[in-house]
């Protein structure tokens, strides 16, 4: 049975932490420069946030070390629920994105 013994060295966690700090710096820089329109800015920030969330989940939460069944069941079920949320709001959100944003 897979157990709590995670045999990676400590160095990887410091690298992940440094990467997360760096990505946070990039986000703050984008906010200070304000070169992007709100919708484009939202898209870029969301992509960076997903990358940071993936780093935290895979390395700090050790999802990378779990067996495939656990890993994919969690990822697919949560993503499916978010997709349902998006589908539920999609028609209205799409209308606003195309008609309402300056």
Please give the residue ranges that form the binding site for another protein (CB under 8 A).
1-6, 10, 13-14, 17, 20-21, 24, 27-28, 30-32, 34, 38-39, 41-42, 45-46, 48-49, 52-53, 56-57, 59-62, 66-67, 69-70, 73-74, 77-78, 81-82, 85-86, 89, 93, 96-97, 100-102
DSSP state of 63: G
**In whole angstroms, how close is the CB of 10 to another protein at the nearest point?**
6
**In whole angstroms, how close is the CB of 4 to another protein at the nearest point?**
5
**In whole angstroms, how close is the CB of 3 to another protein at the nearest point?**
7
**Long-range contact set of residues 7-16: C-beta below 8 Å, sequence gap at least 24:** 12/59, 13/59, 13/60, 16/55, 16/56, 16/59, 16/60
Q: Enumerate the H helices of 56-67 as residue ranges.
A: none
């Amino acid at each position: 049975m897979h157990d709590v013994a995670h045999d990676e060295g400590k160095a990887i966690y410091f690298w992940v932490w440094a990467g997360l700090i760096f990505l946070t710096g990039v986000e703050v820089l984008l906010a200070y420069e304000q070169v992007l329109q709100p919708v484009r800015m939202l898209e870029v920030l969301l992509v960076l946030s997903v990358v940071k969330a993936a780093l935290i989940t895979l390395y700090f939460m050790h999802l990378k070390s779990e067996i495939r069944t656990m890993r994919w069941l969690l990822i697919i079920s949560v993503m499916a629920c978010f997709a349902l949320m998006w589908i539920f709001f999609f028609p209205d959100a799409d209308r606003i994105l195309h008609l309402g944003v300056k």
